[in-house]
Amino acid sequence: MSGVSSRARQWTRPPVLIKSDRLRWSIYAGALIYLVLAISSVDINPARIYEGLERGWRFVQGFLVPDFTSRWSDIQQGFIESLSMTLTATVAGVLISVPIGIGAARNISPTAVYLVCRTIIALSRSLQEIIVAILFVAMFGFGPFAGFLTLSFATIGFLAKLLAEDIEDIDESQTEAIRATGASWTQLINYAVQPQVMPRLIGLSLYRLDINFRESAVIGIVGAGGIGATLNTAIDRYEYDSAGAILILIILIVMAAEYSSGYVRKWVQ
């Protein structure tokens, strides 16, 4: 202890990301200037904000007295269409995603298959649902069939990617042990991979079911059928009370899906 000098030593926290002071401050200044210019270009108009708030208040009033009855048959039809579109699209999407997900897992698939499957996933993920819906509506006309195709296509990108990542993270020693018994590739998938990824696959499928329902309401607006179309019509007709009823039902269904999928996910662990 005697050898330690008693003079206080200076310490300041070293810069974390950018070492050079000048570069750091010029980046901050540049970002600030851009932000100011960008805000000034947005054209904030107090009069329009005021009008918008007034319209918003009419929405709120409509939601406070939701009208379930006068358009009930349209609403019912819309929900039936949306729910059947959601369910069929999720099932079809999952069935297609599983082989693609297996193919896109680097640790169990040959490189050529891996690249093809990754390309399909990238394609599906790069196109947002609305854009896909617009394309399918243009190709196959208005209605739930276009919605079904859109949601199935979107499910592939989501589920196959996450499944592939889960397969890449499995415990390799279990795979090794099954391989050591002389098992074939299909048996390896069935005995070593499937038990390890099944709980997550079920959880993701349920999660996707719930996303697909929400998406079905959105893509309806561009003509792909379902409750979104009904909602769009109600707003176009200034029937905010019917629109309020539809929104409340959507919220309730999403919440029910959320709670039940959470429960199922815990149960399959």
Partner 1 sequence: MLSVRNLTKTYRTGDEALKGVSFDVEPGQLVGLIGPSGAGKSTLIRCVNRLVEPTGGSIFLGNEELTRLSGSRLRAARRRIGMIFQEYALVERLSVMENVLSGRLGYVSFWRSFTRRFPQADVDKAFSLLERVGLTDHADKRADALSGGQRQRVGIARALEQDPELLLIDEPTASLDPKTSRQIMRLIQDICAERNLPAIINIHDVLLAQAFTRRIIGLQAGEVVFDGPPEELDDAALTRIYGEEDWTTMRTAKPGDEESGEHDEEERMAGLA
The DSSP symbol for 2 reads T
Is residue 133 exposed (0-12), middle (13-18) or buried (19+ Cβ within 10 Å)?
A: buried
Residue 2 C-beta: closest distance to partner 1, Å? 36
Binding site for partner 1 (CB under 8 A): 171, 173-174, 176-184, 186-187, 190-192, 195-196, 198-199
Residue 178 C-beta: closest distance to partner 1, Å? 6
Closer of 73 and 269 to partner 1 (Cβ): 269
Residue 221 C-beta: closest distance to partner 1, Å? 42
Closer of 139 and 180 to partner 1 (Cβ): 180
Closer of 104 and 189 to partner 1 (Cβ): 189
Residue 185 C-beta: closest distance to partner 1, Å? 9
Closer of 28 and 185 to partner 1 (Cβ): 185
Residue 192 C-beta: closest distance to partner 1, Å? 6
Closer of 185 and 238 to partner 1 (Cβ): 185
Nearest CA to 139 out of 223, 78, 83 is that of 223
Q: Do 224 and 212 form a contact (C-beta atoms < 8 A)?
A: no
Q: Name the residue with tokens 């996707």.
A: 208
Tell me which amino acid residue 261 is: S
- Distance, in Å, from the CA atom of 199 to the CA atom of 206, rounded to the nearest integer, reads 11
Q: Do 265 and 202 form a contact (C-beta atoms < 8 A)?
A: yes
Q: Is the dihedral of CA 58, 64, 70, 74 positive or negative?
A: positive
